Structure 1
Amino acid sequence: MTSKKTRLRAAFAMLAALALAIGVAACGSSSSSSSTGGSSGSTEAEGGGGAIAENPENGSVNLTIGSKNFPEQEILGEIYAQGLAAAGYKVKSDLSLGSETVAHKAVKSGAVSGYPEYASTALTSFFGLEPEEVPADATEAWEKANEEFEKEGLVAFEPTPFASANAVGLLKTTAEKYELENVSDLEGVSEKLSLYGSPECRERIDCLAGLEKLYGLKFKSFHPVDIGLRYTVLEKGQADLSILFTTDPQLSADSDKFVILEDDKHVFPSGNVLFVTTPKVVEEAGPDYEKTILQVQEGLTLEVVQELDARVELEKETPKAAAAAYLESTGLVG
C-alpha cells in the first residue's frame, strides 16, 4: 500500500514543483502589465500563475456551483467552488444533480450558476451530433459546443487540459511484448489479440467501430462485457485489450500494471471539460469569475485527474478534501 500511495502522490509532487517554479519566475520578473479596467482581478497573473487573491468586491456575489453525482464530477465541482470562494465570492455547491440532462436544465433555469460538462456529452446528448461528428480537437469541440450553447442563452468557458474519453487499454507486459505505444501500432498485431468492451462498443466510433473503420484494424475476437469488469478481464487474462477510460484511477494507482495506447489518429471524440454558465452570471460576477475558473483548471492534466480520481475512488478521500489538496499543491490557495 505504501508504494501505491507513493505513486499516487507523484502527480501532485510535480505540480508543487511547477507552482514553486512559477512563483520564483514571477518574483524575478518586473510587473509591466496594466489593468484593462473594471474591478481588480482575483488572480495575480492573467495566465493563471500564482495564488488566487481575494477580491473584496466579489463578496456581494452569490454563486451556486453544480456537478453531476459521480466522483470525478464532484471533484471538479469542488475545485471550482473552492477556487471561487478563494477569490472572494459567496459560494454554495450542489454536487448531486444526477444526469447531464438534469444538470443542463439546472443551469438553464438558474438553479445553479454553472457546472462542468464534457464537450462530447454536450454535443451528442444536447445537440444531436453523432459521436463520429464530434471533433477530436479540444478547441474545435469547445467552439462547436459553445456555438450551440449560445443559441440556448448559455456560454461555455475554454476547455480543461485533460479529456475523459474511451481508450484502448492493456497490461503493460502485453504492450512491451508487442512494442505498442499508439493505437496504430496494433496494425499487423490486432489479429492475434482479443478485445473486450461495452455491449454498445460494436456501434460506437470511439470503440470497436472506430478501430475497425478509421484505424483499419481487425481483432481475433470481440467480447461484450460490463464496464465494471473492464480491468478484471485484463487481470484474469481473458482479454488482451480492453476499452478503458482515460481518467480511470487505476491508471494512476497501478501504472506499473496497466497502460493505454495513444489515439494517434485522434479518432475518439473530445471529452475535455467545459464550465457551462450563463451570460447573466458572467456579467453579475465580473471578470474574476471566468478568470478564476480558467486558473483553477489549468493544472488539470490527465495524470492529475487520474490522481484525484484515485484519491476519492480508491483511497476514499472526500471530493472536498481531494480538491483542497489539489488547490494547495498548485499554490492556488495557501
Structure 2
Amino acid sequence: MRTNRALRVLLAAAAVLLAGCGLQSGGSVPLPVGPGSIVADPALRGVPITVGSKDFTEQNILGFIIEFAMVAAGAEVRDLTDIQGSNSLRDAQLSGQIDIAYDYTGTGWVNYLGNETPVPDERAQFDAVRAADRAAHGIVWAAMAPMNNTYAIATSRRTAERTGVRSLSDYAELLAADPAAAATCVGTEFSVRQDGYPGMARAYGIDNGRAQKRIVQDAVVYQATADADQCAFGSVAATDGRIPALDLVLLEDDRAFFPKYNAALVMRAEFADAHPEVARIMTPISRLLTNESITELNRQVDVEGREPEEVARDWMVAQGFVTKE
C-alpha cells in the first residue's frame, strides 16, 4: 500500500502543476464504498466534486472522509488531496481547482484574512471567519467540528519533570535564563507564520534572536523532542497521534496566544449555494470529529503505519455512514 500512496502523491503533485495552468485535474477515489446512513441523493447524482486537502496525515484523513461521503451520496468525486501547504490549498480553492476541503478556523482568520488577534471562543471564531471570508472572497465555511488542532509547544515528560516547565511562560523564562536548555525544533511553516513562533515570541516576551531554534520538517519534530537529543522542546499540532504515543506533554498556553483551529468545511459560495446537500450530509460527520477521535485516527497512520485512506474508510464504516464494497 505504501507504493500506491507514493503514486497518489505524485499524481496529486502533477495535478497541482496542471492547476497552475488553469486546468482541472485529479485522481480517482482510492477505495470503493457503498451507501450506509448516507444514501444516494438525487440532487448530487453525477455532480462532479473535486476534494482537496493539505499534505499531512490529518488533512489527508479529513479529505478522504469527504470523498467517501460524497461517493455514497452519488457524486462523481475526484481526489486532489495532499496539496503542499495552506497557501497552495487556498489558491487551488479560490481558482476553482477544488470544490471542497476541510480547513481550520485559525488558519482562515490569521493567514487568509490577515487578522493578528484571534477570537478566544471557538464558535465566535468560526462565525467571524465565516462572515469575513464570504464577504471578502466568496468562501463559505460550514459544519464546524469540535476538534481543535491548535498549535502547541511540546516536551518529553522527563524534560518537563527535570526543568519544571509546564507552560509557555515557564518556557520563556527558561529560554531567557539558559537558551541552550530551551533548544526547540520548529516546523518550517510554524517558524514563519504569525500564528506560529514569531507571534508566540511577541506574546510571551521571547527574544527571537536568542532562541535556539532548529528548523526541521514537521515529521522530524516529534521524535526529536521525545529523544531530547537535538531539542528539548518542539512545535506540534495538538491532535497529532504521536503526542500520546511518544509520551509528549503539551505546554499550557497560559496567555491564550494560539488561535482556535477547529476543522470546518470550506467551499466557494457558488458551489455551496448550488449544492446545499453537501453541508447537510457532512454536518453529522463533523460532529463526531472530536480531538479524541481524530487523534486516534492520526495515531493509526503515524504510529501503526496504516494508510490514511484505509483509516478514513474504516472510521466511516464503523460510524455507519458508508459500507465497504
Of 173, 185, 196, which residue of structure 1 is paired with 2:184? 196
The amino acid that maps onto 1:313 is: D
Alignment correspondent of 1:172: 157
1:81 and 1:179, CA in 2 relative to 1: closer, same or farther beyond 3 A? Answer: same
Contact 1:138 1:159 in 2 (8 A): no
Q: How many matched pairs? A: 278
- Closer, same or farther in 2 for the Cα pair 1:226/1:124, shift >3 Å? same
**Aligned AA for 2:109?**
L
Structure 1 gaps of 5+ residues are 1-50
1:242 to 234, 241, 250: 234
1:133 corresponds to which of 117, 134, 150? 117
**Distance (Å, rounded) in 2 between the aligned partners of 1:320 and 1:283:** 28
Identical counterparts, % of pairs: 22
Contact 2:144–2:262 (CA<8 Å) still a contact in 1? yes
Q: Does 1:280 align with 2:265?
A: no
- 1:157 aligned to 2:142? yes
Whether contact under 8 Å (1:196, 1:239) holds in the other structure is yes
Shift, 1:224, TM fit? 0.9
How many Å apart are 1:316 and its aligned residue? 3.0
Of 289, 310, 315, the residue aligned with 1:326 is 315
The TM-score, its normalising length taken from structure 2, stands at 0.71
Deviation at 1:206, TM superposition (A): 4.8
- 1:67 paired residue number: 53
Q: Counterpart of 2:300?
A: 311
Q: Greater strand percent: which structure?
A: 2
* 3-state SS of 2:322 partner: coil
Shift of 1:136: 4.1
- Show the counterpart of 1:83: 69
> 2 CA distance for matches of 1:175 and 1:138?
28
The answer for the alignment partner of 2:4 in structure 1 is none
Change in Cα spacing, 1:227 to 1:306, as seen in structure 2 (3 Å) is farther
RMSD: 3.3
- Conserved in 2, the CA contact under 8 Å of 1:163 and 1:302? yes
Q: Could you list the runs of 5+ residues in structure 2 that have no partner in the other structure?
A: 1-35
CA apart distance, 1:76: 0.9
Q: Is the 8 A contact 1:78 1:323 kept in 2?
A: yes
CA spacing shift, 1:262–1:89, aligned 2, 3 Å: farther
Which residue of the partner structure matches residue 260 of structure 1? 250
Give, in whole Å, the separation in 1 of the partners of 2:315 and 2:156: 29
> Aligned partners of 1:201, 1:278: CA distance in 2, in Å?
27
TM-score, normalising length: structure 1: 0.69
The 8 Å contact of residues 184 and 234 in structure 2, kept in 1 or not, is answered as yes
Equivalent position of 1:30 in the other structure: none
In terms of mean alpha carbon deviation, does 232-241 or 272-281 score higher?
A: 232-241
Higher Cα radius of gyration:
1
Please name the residue that 1:113 is paired with: 99
Q: Name the SS of the counterpart of 1:283 in structure 2.
A: helix
Distance in 2 between the 1:202 and 1:89 partners?
Answer: 39
Cα shift at 1:205: 6.0
- Following TM superposition, by how much is the alpha carbon of 1:321 offset from its aligned partner in structure 2, in angstroms? 0.5
Q: Aligned partners of 1:331, 1:88: CA distance in 2, in Å?
A: 17
Cα displacement string for residues 17-70 of structure 1 (whole angstroms, at most 9, x for unaligned residues): xxxxxxxxxxxxxxxxxxxxxxxxxxxxxxxxxx63314424535122222333
Classify 1:60/1:141 alpha carbon distance in 2 versus 1 (closer, same or farther; 3 Å): same
